[in-house]
């Protein structure tokens, strides 16, 4: 089994997305398996590939739609799949709203990247269930 955490990124800013993927792949055990820039693209992929991802990192403000819509899609995920929000707008109200969607964590892009890195390391080192086990 691949020890890297199969991670889907929902981020519309190319520079931020590329830097995020580079940083997380270098410092943690994630493998970026895809990305989306819009709510509809992300929701469609996450639904069509429901068994293919272990972590989704979602920005709230996208080229089209909102990360909140993506979070709504993720409510039906398996217990071993984690969803985190990475946003410049990680206000107390946003954190509360994300918690209502069952998000595992919220990180502020400007000052909580270390927390996201720690979260990814923790998730990749946790025991994971194989897709083929009963």
* Pair 35, 61: CB distance under 8 Å: no
Question: Which CA distances in Å does 120 have to 97, 116, 125?
Answer: 22, 6, 9
Strands 30-36 and 55-58: unpaired
Order of strands across the sheet that contains 105-108? 30-36, 5-10, 55-58, 82-87, 105-108
Q: What is the pTM of this model?
A: 0.93
Strands 82-87 and 30-36: unpaired
Could you report the per-residue pLDDT of 50-68, keeping only the tens digit for each? 999 999 999 999 999 999 9
Could you report the per-residue pLDDT of 92-110, keeping only the tens digit for each? 999 999 999 999 999 999 9
Sign of CA dihedral 16, 66, 89, 34: negative
With bands split at pLDDT 50, 70 and 90, how would you rate the model's confidence at 134?
very low
Residue 128: predicted pLDDT: 61
């Amino acid at each position: 089994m691949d020890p890297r955490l199969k991670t889907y990124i929902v981020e519309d800013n190319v520079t931020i997305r590329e830097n995020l993927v580079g940083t997380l792949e270098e410092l943690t055990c994630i493998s970026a398996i895809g990305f989306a820039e819009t709510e509809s693209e992300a929701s469609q992929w996450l639904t069509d590939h429901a068994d293919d991802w272990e972590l989704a990192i979602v920005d709230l403000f996208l080229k089209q739609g909102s990360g909140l819509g993506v979070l709504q899609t993720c409510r039906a995920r398996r217990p071993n799949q984690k969803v985190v929000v990475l946003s410049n707008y990680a206000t107390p109200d946003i954190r509360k709203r994300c918690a209502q969607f069952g998000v595992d964590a919220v990180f502020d892009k400007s000052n909580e990247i270390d927390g996201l890195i720690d979260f990814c390391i923790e998730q990749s080192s946790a025991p994971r269930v194989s897709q083929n086990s009963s």
